[in-house]
Structure 1
Amino acid sequence: MRLKTVLALMMLGSVVATAQESKPINITFEARGDYQHTTLDGKKIADETGFKGNVVNVILKGDLAPKFSYAFRHRFNGINKDYNFFNATDWLYLKYKPTDKLSLIAGKYIVLVAGWELIPAPIDCYFLSDFCYNFPCYQWGLVGEYTPNAGKDVFSAQICQSPYQKTYEGLTGNKEDMYAFNLMWQGRHGIYEGLWSVNLSEYAPGKYINYISLGSKFYLGDKVQVELDLMNRAASHQTFIGKDCSVIGQVSYQPTEKLNVYAKASYEVNQSGTAADYAVQDGTELTRVGAGVEYYPLKDKRLRVHGNYSYAFGKNTNSNGVVQDKLSCVDVGVTWKVKVL
């Protein structure tokens, strides 16, 4: 029986067993629609130009009992003939918190690979690095969390399905159980907030690619934040530092409570000479730059208007990759989020 099936049954059993003790459910509905204009080497990409529905989410959260809580986020726009119900579910998990310092999470959850670019929900993302587009960041598994000092630091350990299991199956036609092992630290100390991880993911049965990912955020006063993500990737028989890596930076400025202005850049390179990295393929060297603005007309930020532009240049050896040389994207849209219950 597959790991995700076992976890789903465990969660269902827990829900049934504690249903009579449950508290009212919290339901949030989110939607985003955009106008996009995308060109590649000056030629319009028809499927990525025009008015588009972008994301439709429903989020359910609540408590089952004093030490048990649950959460569920589902993207309805993710369902198609090749993408089933659970593929379109970002997270679906049960959380057990026996003490203030310890938590155990079982179910579908974000893969604990550090980096501030990976944290926002898809509805809050505008343009990303090539790594993010090729990294399936929600997987079934188990997570343990330890918080020693009232939330200033959180240490997490995770075992989950490998993000590259389906890629391997698509390349080879073989169905295998493949796993990832992740350790993460997140902590805020003064103006600095760190998000660091070390990770091992199977890209083939018994073969692992290693990540060292260092995310840093600096709070420069109340209105400016600077984010910097550094990620190094390596596998066996590969030069370890600098051959396969990503550098991503973003500066955000809020002149008022209703306005956010930001600029972002990413640089990714893989000159490892191996095929171990499915996310950023060997021979790739890509840069992407862009900027944008977000405006919140309402105080509670239920409504957001955004506009942004990005441009990419370099070489991507993945011909099916989202980010390609001379890719130009303009995006303007509206997002609204409502608490239904």
Structure 2
Amino acid sequence: VYYCSEYWNNVNCFQLGASVAFTTNKGDDTITFQVCQSPYDKMAMNYAENPDPDGDPIKLGDLYAYNLYWMGSHGFYTALHSLNFSEYERGKFDVYVVLGNQFKFGDATIQLDLMNRGVSAKELLFENFSIMGEVDYLIAKRVNIFAKATYDKVGANYPTVIDDEGDYVGGLFLCPGTEMTRVGGGVEYYPLGGRGNRDIRLHAAYCYNIGNNTNTKGTAFDKGSFLTVGLTWKIDVIEGISALIDKRQAKRAANM
């Protein structure tokens, strides 16, 4: 993931929680229910306007999220769909429906993700949403190219909460009136082999932004660009330690 939608760049993705899951006998489908801390739990709007006598912030209460996932793999199609309820105030939920889809045809892979968000049914009907699409193609054994586009839209009627630094969005991590598109692509090179071994990767990716971001602290703005060039090396630490131990044990056995 070299660049994402504006929503993805602002949301707090990782939270502490617990999950229970059921997987079918064939292993093709898994349904998971999760309860975790809401991604809005640490936002300024969940703290009292004035601190306590010691100057420490006063938290208004713990906020939770309730999520239901379906992950399925059927031939060329892989799905990750979810229904999510995240508290942004006590008893008030930001609801989002996520439809993640991947289609694989030989050396080509197509990914299409749709996220609808909102605190009301009206907003869930394409007033607040994100679309992300990507096409990858392995043009040679070690070379992969891709094109990617993302689109975010936030309706003008979404509530905001004011703090000392400006407007905080009441549940979407995006400010009302935002409409932003990002388009770009890139190339990946795998020196050890594109199919069998992707532990080392060289990459170059670029995207261009088009639209209006009303969040002055956002990550993407009109006519802005993003360029990344780098090296990724996946190291299996446990396997490396195990191999080192085996080597030393074999050496000791040989010297006995």
Q: Distance in 1 between matches of 2:113 and 2:174?
A: 16
The CA distance in 1 between the partners of 2:121 and 2:100, in whole Å, is 26
SS at match of 2:16: strand
**Cα 1:186–1:171, aligned 2, differ >3 Å: closer, same or farther?**
farther
Is 1:246 the counterpart of 2:130? The answer is yes
Aligned to 2:146: 262
Q: Distance in 1 between matches of 2:48 and 2:102?
A: 37
Within the alignment, does 1:289 sit opposite 2:183 as a pair?
yes
Matches within 5 A, 1:65-76: none
In the TM superposition, what is the alpha-carbon distance from 1:155 to its structure 2 partner? 0.5
> Which residue is equivalent to 2:91?
206
Question: Residues 90-112 of structure 1, C-alpha deviation per residue, up to 9 Å, x if partnerless?
Answer: xxxxxxxxxxxxxxxxxxxxxxx
Output the CA distance in 1 between the equivalents of 2:29 and 2:115.
Answer: 21
Q: What letter is aligned with 1:209? A: D
Secondary structure, counterpart of 2:8 in structure 1: helix
Alignment check: 8 A CA contact 1:164 1:278 kept: no
CA distance in 2, matches of 1:272, 1:199: 22
How far is the alpha carbon of 1:301 from its aligned partner? 2.2
CA contact (8 A) 1:238 1:274 kept: no
Matched-pair contact (CA < 8 Å) for 1:226–1:250: yes
> Conserved in 2, the CA contact under 8 Å of 1:308 and 1:331?
yes
Q: Which amino acid aligns with 2:188?
A: E
CA separation of 1:193 and 1:237: change in aligned 2, threshold 3 A: closer
Q: Find the partner of 2:73 among 188, 196, 201.
A: 188
Whole-Å separation in 1 of the counterparts to 2:58 and 2:90:
10
Displacement of 1:169 in angstroms is 3.7
Q: Which residue is equivalent to 1:223?
A: 107
> How far is the alpha carbon of 1:161 from its aligned partner?
0.0
> Gapped runs of 5+ residues in structure 2?
50-56, 160-169, 242-256
Letter in 1 for 2:36: C
| Counterpart among 172, 175, 178 of residue 278 in structure 1 | 172
- Is the CA contact (8 Å cut-off) linking 2:96 and 2:124 kept in structure 1? no
1:170 shift after superposition: 6.6
Q: Distance in 1 between matches of 2:48 and 2:5?
A: 23
**Which of structures 1 and 2 has the bigger CA Rg?**
2
Change (3 A) 1:197 1:289: same
CA 1:301–1:237: 2 relative to 1, 3 Å: closer
- Conserved in 1, the CA contact under 8 Å of 2:96 and 2:115? yes
Contact preservation (8 Å) 1:244, 1:272: no
**SS state at 2:198 partner:** coil
Tell me by how many angstroms 1:308 deviates: 0.8
Q: Distance in 1 between matches of 2:100 and 2:30?
A: 14
Instruction: Name 1:337's counterpart in structure 2.
Output: 234
Q: CA distance change for structure 1 residues 204 and 223 in 2, over 3 Å: closer, same or farther?
A: same
| In 2: Cα distance, 1:209 partner to 1:174 partner | 23
Within a 5 Å distance, the mapping from 1:295-314 to structure 2 comes to 295-299=189-193, 300-314=197-211
Is 1:317 matched up with 2:214?
Answer: yes
Backbone CA RMSD of aligned residues: 1.7
Aligned amino acid, residue 296 of structure 1: Y
- Asked which structure has the greater RCO (Cα within 8 Å, sep 6+), the reply is 1
Report the TM-score when normalising by structure 2: 0.80
Deviation readout 1:39-75 (Å, 9 max, x if unpaired): xxxxxxxxxxxxxxxxxxxxxxxxxxxxxxxxxxxxx
> C-alpha distance in 2, partners of 1:246/1:171?
31
Could you report, residue by residue, the CA deviation over 1:11-37 in whole angstroms, capped at 9, with x for unpaired residues? Answer: xxxxxxxxxxxxxxxxxxxxxxxxxxx
- 3-state SS of 2:235 partner: strand
Tell me, in whole angstroms, the C-alpha distance in 2 between the residues paired with 1:318 and 1:238.
Answer: 23
The one-letter code sitting in structure 2 at the alignment partner of 1:252 is D
TM-score, structure 1 normalization: 0.60
Gaps of 5+ in 1: 1-124
Say if 1:170 and 1:227 are closer, same or farther in 2 by CA, change over 3 A.
farther
The number of equivalent residue pairs is 216
- Contact 2:103 2:111 (C-alpha < 8 Å) held by counterparts: yes
User: What whole-Å deviation, never above 9, does each CA across 1:279-315 have from its counterpart, x for those lacking one?
Assistant: 2221100000010111110143221100011001111
